[in-house]
Structure formats: structure tokens, C-alpha cells
Amino acid sequence: MSGETLPGVERDDPPRIVLHVDMDCFYASCERLREPALRGQPVVVGMGYEPGDTIGAVATASYEAREFGVESAQPISQALDRLPRAAADDAAEDDTEPVGYYRPVDLDFYQSVADAVKEILHDCADVVREVSIDEAYLDVTERTAWRRVPDGDRTLAEGYARYVKQRIAREVGVPASVGVAPNLSAAKIASDHDKPDGLVVVEPGEVREFQAPLSVEAVHGVGPVTADRLASMGIETAGDLASADPVELREVFGSRGVELHERARGIDDREVTPTGRPKSLSRESAFAEATDDDTKKRETVTTLAADVAARAQNRGATYRTIGIKVVVPPYEVNTRERSLSGPVDDPGLVEEVALELLAEFDGEAARKVGVRVSNLSFASGEQARLDGWDEEDGVGGGGSEANGRDGDDPTGRGQASLGEFER
């Protein structure tokens, strides 16, 4: 679907509605979720900053840290020169000299947060393309529309995008920037346009005008090398690229030059293609305040179990594993799960197992609880017998993702399990 139409030509189909959801400084946001005192402070996530370390790099720097010249992929020694490490582990009150709060990479924890976000995205869209741990495209054409609300102040699509943002903030607790546009490349540009925690809507017919004043590097697919070559041709903005001679671009860049030219003009016919079926289905609920009320926790888990089981049925999925998540203050993530002898579709069993696993946390305060079914199967066939399942409670040595993990395992699976509510 393009961002412009030939004069006098009407579309048979309405313009596509694409959301690009990009989590802002995701690793740093996760650390703030675990340590609320870090909010508003310069946070640097990386490795090599401990005394005696000689090598390391920045994985993520919060926007506050970027103000001091700290950037992703920067040598950690350079980051420490520009923003010394705070002496205390916890966020300080008021330092006379600017300091940063350095934290090690904890991929297991970040993945668990990302899984909770992606669960919301899959619930809000019929088609989701997960690009990375902190980025995804959503096709919500069937969920909303480009027409304006009665007062004409905004489109329904903008309202829906705001709903997605608010669900992520409310249910997971991390910020996201969202771009809304009639195609993938424009949605990506829109999400980058007003960070952090931004929401930018580019309506059909406005894509080319919106992109025109932006640097040519804003066009999806233009990297530094391509930008340099374009600059040597006198092309420095997206508007310049849109007005350039496509024949000349093809001579220099091949078919890719024509593709970039079209994107600069607001034309991008690529569809949002899904990245595959989910590996699990889950639902979580946070309490307004941490609670040790066992009845309240059980009632919440019962509701979540029914919802998760219903969603599995709606997708025609059976499951081999049932699990729970319990987040205790300050932000210690505990997971428990139980594996069955074969795939089943049994809502009553989901509730029963979830409540049995929850009993281990009776009397403990909880900030959030969740229920998950995993090891999904979408193939038809007989369900397993319900006798003789294998119990795997507390896989991963207690399931506390907040403690003792240095994140140096690139697979994010340094311990046996997982209880992360992953897709």
C-alpha cells in the first residue's frame, strides 16, 4: 500500500494501518523496572566496568546517560571517562558531580520483560512481525480505521495505537514509542521521530510530505555508507531522494536504488509477515500495591488461567506445560511450571495446576502474578492421558531472574529453564 495515489484513481481497498512498536532504551528500562530508584538517573547497561576489567562495551545507555556522550556500542572505558560510575550500588540522592549507574547485561530478565510486551502485541493485532527483542511491526488494519473520531481531532488509528502504548505501560511497566502509518517504512520512521515514549501518526497521503525534510538516513534501508554515496550525488534529505532521477539511482545502486526512491516518496507495498506461531501463551496482572492477600492472589490467578486457556482454544492450540509467574518486591521474578505427559486442552487443569503452584507463595507479598501455557502444538491429534505428568517445579534453581545472572550467555539460557513467558 503506498502513501500516495495517482490523480483520479481510487483504491479498491483502504490503506493498510501499520504500527511500529519500539521499546525505548529497553535494557535500561528493564533495569529501572527492577530498581525504581533508577528512574530519571543516567543508566548504562554493559560489561567491563568493574575494577580490574580491561575490555567491555556499552549495550544500552539511557537518554540521561546519552546527554553525557555515552552511546551504545561505545567502549566502556570511554563511557566511564565521560560519565564516572556511581560509588554506591543504589541510586544516590544528589551528587555534586554527574555519575552514571552501571548495570550488567541480564538477557534472561530482559527476555522475560520482552515476552510480556509481545504477548500484548499479539493480543492487539492479527499479524505481528517480531524484529528483535525490543521491536515489532503490527498490522491492525482489521482492528481500527483511518477515519476520524466525531470531533475530528484524531483518527481511530491513533486512538488504537495509544491503547497499545498504555497497555504496555500499565501491564509491563516499560515505555514504548509507536509509529502509525500506511506502510512499514513510514511506520518505522514515525516511531523514531519522537523518542522516548512517543506516538507519531502519519496518515495516508501525508507520508511523502512528512518524510521530505528528514535526513536521508531516516529512510528505511539507508545506512551510513549509502547516505555518503547519496550525499556525493547531492541527495541529503528524504525529499531530495524522492525527487531524484530513478534511472540514475538504478545505475548507482541497482534495483535497491529504485526501492529507496519509492520509500522516500511514501511507497512501500511490503506486507507485515508473521514470524511464526507462538511458543507460549500467557497473561499477567499487576496489583496496584504489593499484596500478601492469598485470596486476592488466587482469584487473580483463577481469572488469568481461564483467559489463557480460552486463548489457547481460540487458536486451536494444545499445551504440554502449565506455569505461573510471581513477582515479589522489589522486582524478583519467580517462576514455577509443571510438564504434562503430552499435549492437552483442558481449562480446568490450567486453573488447578496454576493454583497448586501458587500455593508455594502463600503469605508472600506479590507485585504481579501471571499464568502461562507453553510447549504449544497446533497439530491435530489425540490428547495425552492426564495421568503421570512429570513435575518440574522451580526449574532454574528457584526461578529468581533478578539475582545472580550476569547475562554473559548470548543465548539467554544460562540456567536450565525458564519460566520466562516467552513466545
CB 411 within 8 A of CB 402: no
Q: In terms of Cα–Cα distance, which of 260, 115, 152, 137 is closest to 187?
A: 137
Catalytic residue list contains 135: yes
Residue 303: CB atoms within 10 A of its CB come to 14
Q: How far apart are CA 324 and CA 327, in angstroms?
A: 10
Amino acid in the structure at residue 64 = E
Beta strands in 2-161 (DSSP E): 18-23, 43-46, 58-61, 101-104, 127-132, 135-139
Beta strands, E only, 35-134: 43-46, 58-61, 101-104, 127-132
CA dihedral (49, 114, 423, 391) positive or negative:
positive
Listed in sequence order, the residues at least 6 apart from 54 whose beta carbon sits closer than 8 Å to its beta carbon are 48
Q: What share of the chain is helix, strand, coil (3-state, %, to 5)?
A: 35, 25, 45
Pairing of strands 366-377, 176-181: unpaired
Q: Write phi, then psi, for 205 (nearest 5 degrees).
A: 85, -10
From CA 316, how far away is CA 329, in angstroms rounded? 36
Residue 196: asked if its preceding bond is cis (omega within 30°), the reply is yes
Eight-state DSSP code of residue 382: P
Catalytic residue among 4, 135, 236, 392: 135
Residues assigned a catalytic role: 135
